[in-house]
């Protein structure tokens, strides 16, 4: 158990819909990262938040957005869903953001999103 929690574990929805994925980081970690993993793409970085502020963006679509709240939990919002958005979505957390062994990422169990 990494200490990172994610809900829900599974989500099944229809095209065009909007969903929210939730993540709570390990105790004491200030950075939260979101990743998408599909069979043909591997683990793709979406976005990072540090202590409530957006710090880095990866391959995140405009239909997707995220935020980190004062209690440091984070939410990833996916809207206008398409079939191709079906994937595993992982949240990871780390202590800080400036490199070093202390910034090792620890992953949550993931949310499996199925868009029908």
Partner 1 sequence: GQNIDQPTEMTATEGAIVQINCTYQTSGFNGLFWYQQHAGEAPTFLSYNVLDGLEEKGRFSSFLSRSKGYSYLLLKELQMKDSASYLCAVRDPGGSYIPTFGRGTSLIVHP
The contact set with partner 1 (CB under 8 A) reads 2, 4, 33, 42-43, 45, 48, 55-56, 58, 88, 90, 97-101, 103-110, 112
> Least distance to partner 1 from the beta carbon of 112, Å?
7
Considering the complex, state which of residue 54 and residue 82 has its C-beta at the smaller distance from partner 1: 54
Pairing relation of β-strands 42-50 and 31-38? Answer: antiparallel
**Minimal distance in Å, beta carbon 28 to partner 1?**
16
Given a contact cutoff of 8 angstroms between Cβ atoms, the answer to whether 94 and 33 are in contact is yes
Q: Can you say how many angstroms the Cα of residue 90 is from the centroid of all Cα atoms in its chain?
A: 5
Residues 116 and 15 sit within 8 Å (Cβ to Cβ): yes
Query: Which residue's CB is nearer to partner 1, number 61 or number 88?
Result: 88
CB of 53 to partner 1, least distance (A): 13
- Grouping H, G, I as helix, E, B as strand and the rest as coil, residue 83 is helix
């Amino acid at each position: 158990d990494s200490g990172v929690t994610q809900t829900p574990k599974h989500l099944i929805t229809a095209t065009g819909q909007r969903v929210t994925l939730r993540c709570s980081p390990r105790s004491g970690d200030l950075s939260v990262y979101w990743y998408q993993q599909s069979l043909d793409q591997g683990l793709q970085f979406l976005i990072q938040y540090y202590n409530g502020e957006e710090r880095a963006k990866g391959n995140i679509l405009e239909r997707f957005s995220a935020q980190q709240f004062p209690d440091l939990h984070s939410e990833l919002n996916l809207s206008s869903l398409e079939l191709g958005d079906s994937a595993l979505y992982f949240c990871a957390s780390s202590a800080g953001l400036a490199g070093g062994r202390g910034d090792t990422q620890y992953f949550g169990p993931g949310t499996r999103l199925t868009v029908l």
